[in-house]
Amino acid sequence: MDAITAHAVLGISAVALGMVLTPGPNMIYLVSRSIVQGRRAGLISLAGVGTGFFVYLAAVTAGIATLFAVVPALYTAIKLAGAAYLLWLAWKAIKPGGAAVFAPQALPEDSPRRLYAMGFLTCLLNPKLAILYISLLPQFVDPSRGHVAEQSLLLGLTQIVIAVTVNGLIAMSAGTIASFFSRRPAWLRVQRYAMGTVLGSLALHIAADRAKAVAA
């Protein structure tokens, strides 16, 4: 039997895509570096961010398996907390007055070593990533299928592939995207509302599934 289902892969992919397209510390840092210092600097910074993803994944993969085995009720609590966080992200995406990520502040140029280190630290200190791995990834782990650590690892790798790919594309094209949005502010609103809708729908779906499970 496969460790994870196609439904779980699609679910974590949707969450990962919604979160990576919602402006946060990683995106702001990568965009700023790419615009100020060039694409190479953006990609070096992305390597540091990617390393941070793997640190989170290694720590949480072992921890989730132990926690779910010892405290099964924690699984339900984590799912509900994750759904609430997705709703909060959805609100942040659609609320008025948000800062434009593609108009970042100027930064001094850094060496490749510092670019990598700052990308790594930005990722580790990113609250979105902490909540993603602690509260959201477990939404798609099914303890009844067994191999909880393996499920967590595969789902985490799916998230990392999506996040690194999308962030890499953004870093490579940050200047062009910034120029595009500066001339078409309406497109920023479209992006925000689309991401808010995706995240809100996922939150409601997760909460509804949990309510059905409790009722059963």
pLDDT, tens digit (0-9, with 9 covering 90-100), for 17-33: 888 887 777 887 888 78
Render pLDDT for 68-107 as a digit per residue (tens, 0 to 9): 556 667 666 666 676 776 677 677 667 766 555 555 555 6
Span 175-192, average pLDDT: 65
Nearest to 172 by CA among 51, 43, 37: 43
Residue 75: φ, ψ to 5°? -60, -45
pLDDT for residue 214 is more than 80: no
What does the CA dihedral 135, 17, 126, 4 come to, rounded to 10 degrees?
40
- Comparing 171 with 164, which gets the higher pLDDT? 164
For residues 37-54, average pLDDT: 91
Q: Is 208 left (phi over 0), alpha (psi -120 to 50) or beta?
A: alpha
- Residue-wise pLDDT for 112-156, tens only, equals 999 999 889 888 877 677 777 877 787 788 877 777 788 888 999
- Tell me the average pLDDT across 180-191: 64
